[in-house]
Structure 1
Amino acid sequence: MKTIQDPNLIAHYITQFNLNQVFTTSKHALIQLRVYEQNEIILHEGDELDGIYFQVEGRTKVSSSVGTGKSLLLRFCSPLSLFGDIEFVQEVVVQSQVEAVQQTTLLFIPKQKVESDLMDNHSFKDLLLKHLSYKLLTCTSASRTNLLGAVEERLASYLLTIQLQREFGKEIQTPYIPDIASLIGTTPRHLNRVIQRLTDMEILYKVKQEIVVLDWERLDEMSNGIRFE
């Protein structure tokens, strides 16, 4: 992580995401600009919360650990997203791991500054409420998918969420199969069987570290409209 001292860029993001009512000019000094590289952890589950994060560039992945020590995918996030709001309101440690999927820029406000300078701002409280309710919606959807959906549905939802463009034959760089299996709540052996079954159906195929989707429409039908975002 690196911190950038650039008041003009901070002001640009505040204007871009209509945060002027939350961060008036006098409040700009509260804000740090932080940049995280791909695969860098932004928030570690179980750590003490240090502040509120506003994602203004890039893409992040939010996951939560389960009793076996594995991770379960909750959602992918794009701008504008908030992190630390649940923990701040509930006064608990960080509940989920947040990882940068690509280079990601965030506005960061230290916890003590939030408490002393922002909690009397109705626009800030309205923003917290908006994002908290959105997380309730997405977590409910993710939980339903992870608990009730077949592995085929979960894999389809995962692939459709991470795709960059809807292009026939688009190749998707994929991490180690056990990582995907852990994220969607299955075993590597079962996931490999599912990939082979979808290969036999000519929906996709896997070559080394790439999954190539041949039929996005059938994959979309298989996902039942569920997305991890």
Structure 2
Amino acid sequence: MKKISNDTLLNKYIVKHNVKNIFDDNTLKYAQIHYYEKNEDILQADCELNYYYLFVDGKIKISYLLENGKSILLKFCTDFESLGDLELLNDIPIRCNVEAIENTYLIALPAKILRDSYCDNPKFLKHIINSLSNKLDATCNNSSYNLVYPLINRLSSYIVEHITDKGYIQLNSSFKEIAQFLGTTYRHLNRTFNTLESKGIIKCDDKTIYILQEEELKKLSKNLYI
């Protein structure tokens, strides 16, 4: 991790993501830019939360650590996201592992400063409520979907969610990561890709997936991941 002293970059992200709707200037004077390289750990489960993070650029992976040492992939993030909501409010150890999948920038605010002076601020509490409710909604939606529908429906939904105007998707995640997210194995995922390809619905070229029958793909897609 690198701390970047660049007020221009910090202000750019503050304006872009309307951070002043969450924190006032007195709090933002403590804000820093933290830069994490690809595959670097941002937060580790069971460790103390030193910084409350606002994810502003890059791509991250969030996983929940189980008691047996295994982890469940909860989500990938490429859009604005806050990290450390529960830990900050309840003063508990970090619950999830957060890893940079691409080079990533975050706005960091010292957790102690926020606990001492900001946890009763109405603007911040509204942000926390919205953040936690969105995470709960996404987790319930995605977990229920993985339990109810066969993999061919789940994979179709994943593909539909990522279709571009050009009629194809470029997979930015590894097949292992996609399998984790869809709650399956690498082999089962590979077989299901082959099934969709044999039906003439998609064509796979390494990590580029061409959509040949978008309407058929949408029929298979029963829901969208959040």
| TM-score interval, normalised by the smaller of the two chains | 0.7 to 0.9
Cα RMSD of the aligned pairs, angstroms, is 2.5
Equivalent position of 2:114 in the other structure: 114
Distance 1:72 1:169, change over 3 A: same
Q: SS of the residue aligned with 1:82? A: strand
C-alpha displacement at 1:36, in angstroms? 1.9
Matched, 1:56 2:44: no
Matched, 1:41 2:38: no
In structure 2, C-alpha distance between the alignment counterparts of 1:217 and 1:69, rounded to whole Å: 41
Equivalent position of 1:172 in the other structure: 171
Q: SS of the residue aligned with 2:61? A: strand
In structure 2, C-alpha distance between the alignment counterparts of 1:71 and 1:156, rounded to whole Å: 24
Query: More displaced, 68-77 or 128-137?
Result: 68-77
Q: SS of the residue aligned with 2:140? A: helix
AA in 2 matched with 1:108:
A
In structure 1, C-alpha distance between the alignment counterparts of 2:91 and 2:155, rounded to whole Å: 34
Equivalent position of 2:202 in the other structure: 204
Q: Is the Cα contact below 8 Å between 2:88 and 2:115 reproduced in 1?
A: no
After superposition, residues 8-19 of structure 1 pair within 5 angstroms as 8-19=8-19
Q: Is the Cα contact below 8 Å between 2:23 and 2:123 reproduced in 1?
A: no
C-alpha displacement at 1:95, in angstroms? 2.2
Q: Deviations over 1:178-219 (max 9, x none)?
A: 443233211223222211111111222434x42423234433
Q: SS of the residue aligned with 1:30? A: coil
In structure 1, C-alpha distance between the alignment counterparts of 2:137 and 2:28, rounded to whole Å: 31
Alignment identity in percent?
A: 30
Equivalent position of 1:222 in the other structure: 220
In structure 2, C-alpha distance between the alignment counterparts of 1:115 and 1:164, rounded to whole Å: 42
In structure 2, C-alpha distance between the alignment counterparts of 1:219 and 1:158, rounded to whole Å: 10
Give the unaligned 5+ runs of structure 2: none
Q: SS of the residue aligned with 1:97? A: strand
C-alpha displacement at 1:168, in angstroms? 1.9
C-alpha displacement at 1:66, in angstroms? 5.0
Q: Deviations over 1:3-38 (max 9, x none)?
A: 111233323322332222433222222111112223
Equivalent position of 2:32 in the other structure: 32
Matched, 1:213 2:210: yes
In structure 2, C-alpha distance between the alignment counterparts of 1:112 and 1:14, rounded to whole Å: 21
Matched, 1:191 2:189: yes
In structure 2, C-alpha distance between the alignment counterparts of 1:152 and 1:48, rounded to whole Å: 40
In structure 1, C-alpha distance between the alignment counterparts of 2:190 and 2:67, rounded to whole Å: 23
> How many residues are aligned here?
225
In structure 1, C-alpha distance between the alignment counterparts of 2:134 and 2:168, rounded to whole Å: 32
Equivalent position of 1:140 in the other structure: 140
Distance 1:146 1:225, change over 3 A: closer
Query: More displaced, 7-16 or 76-85?
Result: 7-16
In structure 2, C-alpha distance between the alignment counterparts of 1:21 and 1:180, rounded to whole Å: 34
Query: More displaced, 65-74 or 195-204?
Result: 65-74
AA in 2 matched with 1:123:
K
In structure 1, C-alpha distance between the alignment counterparts of 2:45 and 2:123, rounded to whole Å: 28
Distance 1:85 1:195, change over 3 A: same
